[in-house]
Structure 1
Amino acid sequence: MSAQPKEAVGPDYSIDAMRHAQAMTWRAIEQLSQRIEPGMLESHTCALGKQVLKDLEMQRIWHPLLVRFGANTLKTFKQRSDGDPVLGENDIFFIDMGAVWQGHEGDAGETFVTGDDPAMAACAQAAKTLFQRVEAQWRSQRMAGPDLYRYAQEHAQAMGWTLNLDIKGHRVSDFPHAIHRGGDLGDFEHCPNEGLWILEIQIAHPTLPYGAFYEDLLA
């Protein structure tokens, strides 16, 4: 697929299987998001997400399922949530799923809101919009990883949000991708090939204690 060692794949790799795994992950996120309601505990929704994945016959979870409420939407993947918050009537949350179908790693994430707080709704939409702009730049300009995240940072600031540069995307592949040591997309000094990299966008509100997250496969 590529001469770049950080884009190595296993013998069973298939871009069609990657796209299938991604489609199934998005299906799971949609189903879980529709079942999350105000009054639920963050821990309860994580357990509910695992059941959704099981019902969709995923083979295994390859990274821990995350659901973050409120101020916990500012946390990075490796940081623990503060407490076990209850989702409010006007609140914000995101889902981050990584599961295996057909031996390939799906990984997707999106932010949702309850109620009608306009600032929260704008934050959730901004993460997705910024993702779409960066993805379009990758497609049209064939930018390397560091350039994509510089572009993302500049456009986040222009949109009035703060980009979390501790989150810079990563490899996926036929399971397990980790044996290839691909590192972060934001550190990959070449234009990423399709079907191998997750572009992650995490933003923070400039003054209020919450943020938003969106990620998908560059495919």
Structure 2
Amino acid sequence: TWHPTYIRFGEDTVRTPRQGIDLLRKLRPTDIAVVDLGPVWDGYEGDYGDTFVFGEHPLHDACTKALHEVFDETRDAWHRGLTGRELYDFAEGSALSKGWRLERN
């Protein structure tokens, strides 16, 4: 794989891969979860990530809504030819405009 598969939930969703996770953490009925897959097939790297909300949790719902909006806006900016650094700057500004902070690590 390009990078290990990450499945994080609860407080572990805000930790970077280098920070590790709580291996004893259990999924709660109203948790948020992040899945990040990085397969390689036929020599091509792929990447897929998404966020899921379990149960009813308004903050988690708002976060998930905003991250999909930031992704869509940033994808559109990529189609306009922005560089990698410009894309991160764009995504950071998009997140801030929605009241969120992009973790660039």
* Among 144, 153, 167, the residue aligned to 2:92: 153
Alignment match, 1:129: 69
Counterpart mapping for 1:18-97 below 5 A: 61-97=1-37
SS at match of 1:165: coil
Deviations 1:79-118 (A, max 9, x none): 2102321111111001111122223222111100100212
Q: Residue 39 of structure 2 aligns to a residue in which SS? A: strand
Report how many residues are paired.
105
Q: What TM-score, normalized by structure 1, do the two folds share?
A: 0.45
Instruction: Tell me the residue number matched to 1:182.
Output: none
2:48 is equivalent to residue 100 of structure 1: no
Runs of 4+ in 1 over 6 A off after TM superposition: none
The amino acid that maps onto 1:144 is T
- Which structure ranks higher in relative contact order (CA pairs < 8 Å, sequence separation ≥ 6)? 1
In structure 2, the residue corresponding to 1:160 is in which secondary structure? coil
Q: Secondary structure of the residue that 1:162 maps to in structure 2? A: coil
Question: Secondary structure in 1 aligned to 2:18?
Answer: coil
SS in 2 for 1:128: helix
Structure 1: state its 5+ residue gaps. Answer: 1-60, 167-219
Distance 1:144 1:63 in 2: 22
* TM-score, structure 2 normalization: 0.89
d(CA) in 1 for partners of 2:2, 2:96 = 33
- Aligned-pair distance for 1:146? 1.8
Return the index of the structure with the highest Cα Rg.
1
In 2, distance between residues paired with 1:100 and 1:137?
A: 26
Partners in 2 of 1:76 and 1:108 — Cα distance? 16
Q: Secondary structure at the match of 1:78?
A: helix
Aligned CA-pair RMSD: 1.4
How much has 1:129 moved relative to structure 2? 1.4
Structure 2: stretches of 5+ with no match in the other structure? none
1:69 CA displacement:
0.8
Structure 1 partner of 2:49: 109
